[in-house]
Structure 1
């Protein structure tokens, strides 16, 4: 396999590059316990090779919950981050599971009547099909050649919906304008969503602007002089809101949550968590 020649030379004779980049992330706590039926166990280590449809080979190794990954044919860590981004970062199967729920439940629940569930499905399809260059996350963008130094002196405006109460909110940041490029034909974007009808695209665009406060975000950015390319939205609250909406609908329809994990998630996503989609919080990141 010729694609592996660079890593062979790097390992055997130390040819350039001087370092082989890798990704690193925390998957779960080092002392996390897992349950399968009546068995409780720890995962000391796990590893896997992943061969993609575009003929790239990746290796991932997790030791006590800390995962390391390399692209076997590319020393640039951006290649690995790009693959993880396509798998939705820290939770590789999350959006795929959202799509699976939709496939079996769409006859009973209209996912496109609600801004949060409709947006998650649109985002899942956009990331899955990858017929465009949109939705490169903040982490992926900053890991590309040149790193954050490419943006030295720039200030970015970050918007996130808030959770009611004191729940911690993680971050997965995407450019706000990417959603417009995907849905708004007036942007003249080659990445316009082609699998949705014009009516459905227009409906979802209106939901984003009104129900998810995109209009408020862009208005604030214009007033304060931020260019669109420096505006990022945190999509984690969208996802939490969508999951809560679906779980509460399932419970209201009498669906039983069976098993230890299902019962744990049922409590959080039906009773504990609530996202205030009418309220945005803002933060800034300046690259010095």
Structure 2
């Protein structure tokens, strides 16, 4: 099998995983009212599958696109590796943290800050996949000397992490959190705009290399990610999710999209 064929096959599996994630998101509202554990796990596993197949595409197409030179693509690969070799408690989604790990009653009165980078050229996607921002630091920032640091991280990786930090405008997120008195562990980052940016750049490179997008899923997402969606990493929207009596009584059926309150933006 030549490399082009391997890329085409990986591209098809990746596009299929994106469709399955969107289906899990659409089914969430119905399923969560019946079995919230299954609904949350289905959605989170579907997102992780996207990362898995993104990594498979990386494995066969890194000669076409320099993933390591793209901060957002490199971040997705590092998060995938962390989840794949799960020997830590990092990168749990906010849904798992609130409704499966902690128990919402223990969080009564807490408010989570949610940071989303602005998407341009199209409407922001309704789904969000929220992880603690500090988990990225624990895993990839050599300055912290964290017990969770990735095995391949060495001191010389600091410049690479600072480049990632700057690219995602993390300073603006931390400034907002400090200004509004959010504890670090209650600051969450939406990975979807980051995912959109990485896929847009990868798909553009594959298209320029004349890699065919053959199947229905590939053709559909090629148009979306190349022609419609972009991410502006300079600008952020902030949301607040409060764990109050209403949220606890309604449970995860009262979705983050419905429950969160606008807490400002940088634009």
TM-score, L = length of structure 2? 0.74
Q: Is the 8 A contact 2:64 2:209 kept in 1?
A: no
Which structure shows the higher helix fraction?
2
1:176 matched to 2:133? The reply is yes
Q: Give the 3-state SS of the residue equivalent to 1:275 in structure 2.
A: strand
Aligned partner of 1:192 among 135, 144, 149: 149
**Separation in 1, partners of 2:69, 2:34:** 39
**Separation in 1, partners of 2:63, 2:84:** 23
- The aligned counterpart of 2:174 is 218
Q: How many residues were matched structurally?
A: 221
**Separation in 2, partners of 1:190, 1:84:** 29
Give the RMSD, CA atoms, in angstroms.
2.8
Q: What are the Cα deviations for residues 239-284 of structure 1, in whole angstroms up to 9, with x where unaligned?
A: 1111001000111122121122221111111111111111111011
Residue 198 of structure 1 and its aligned partner are, at CA, apart by 3.8
Q: What are the Cα deviations for residues 30-55 of structure 1, in whole angstroms up to 9, with x where unaligned?
A: 8xxxxxxxxxxxxxxxxxxxxxxxxx
- The aligned counterpart of 1:111 is 67
**Separation in 2, partners of 1:222, 1:140:** 25
Q: Give the 3-state SS of the residue equivalent to 2:220 in structure 1.
A: helix
Aligned partner of 1:98 among 54, 78, 85: 54
Q: Is the 8 A contact 2:213 2:222 kept in 1?
A: yes
Aligned partner of 1:159 among 93, 96, 115: 115
Which structure shows the higher strand fraction?
1
Q: What are the Cα deviations for residues 214-240 of structure 1, in whole angstroms up to 9, with x where unaligned?
A: 111112211221110110000011111
Which of 1 and 2 has greater Rg? Answer: 1
Aligned partner of 2:189 among 233, 236, 254: 233
Residue 92 of structure 1 and its aligned partner are, at CA, apart by 5.0
- The aligned counterpart of 1:259 is 215
1:128 matched to 2:125? The reply is no
**Separation in 2, partners of 1:249, 1:204:** 22
TM-score, L = length of structure 1? 0.69
Task: Output aligned runs, 1:11-50, within 5 Å.
Answer: 27=24
Q: What are the Cα deviations for residues 80-128 of structure 1, in whole angstroms up to 9, with x where unaligned?
A: 688657xx43445211110011100112321011111011101111111
Q: List alignment gaps of at least 5 residues for structure 2.
A: 1-21, 245-267
Alpha-carbon distance change, 241 to 143 in structure 1, aligned in 2, over 3 angstroms: same
